[in-house]
Amino acid sequence: MGSLHLGRLVRIELPDDVLAHVHTVLLAKLRVHEPILLGWTQSDGRHEEVLVNPSMPIVVVYDVDEERRLDRGRLHRLLASANSVGGLQLDPETLDATRATAAEIAEAGSGASAGGA
């Protein structure tokens, strides 16, 4: 479980694969100097949000030091969410949906290669 630190007060713990995708989306938005509303649900059920802007320090700490593979479809869905009025919401439903779709794509890819061999 990695962590995303925004400013000095906000720390969000996320699985490394999710963290890599969120990190990429944040960088994409901040590179063009666009703030991004980021929301998440705490383990106790409270929902919190922060408006991330280009002047905030952002620290990303991964649990495991290894190269991360990014799923293009997952990135597109997260970017679409980030560009919406509600911002990028890291609620369990959103995270489960992006994980499930990534797993389906991986299964389809391995099935297609196995069937073509």
* Separation CA 13–CA 3 (nearest Å): 4
Tens of pLDDT, residues 38-76: 998 887 888 899 999 999 999 999 998 888 889 998 899
* Separation CA 40–CA 52 (nearest Å): 13
Of the ranges 56-60, 90-94, 109-113, which one carries the lowest mean pLDDT score?
A: 109-113
pTM for the whole thing?
0.78
The answer to whether residues 5 and 61 touch, using CB atoms and an 8 Å cutoff, is yes
The mean per-residue pLDDT over the stretch 1-6 comes to 91
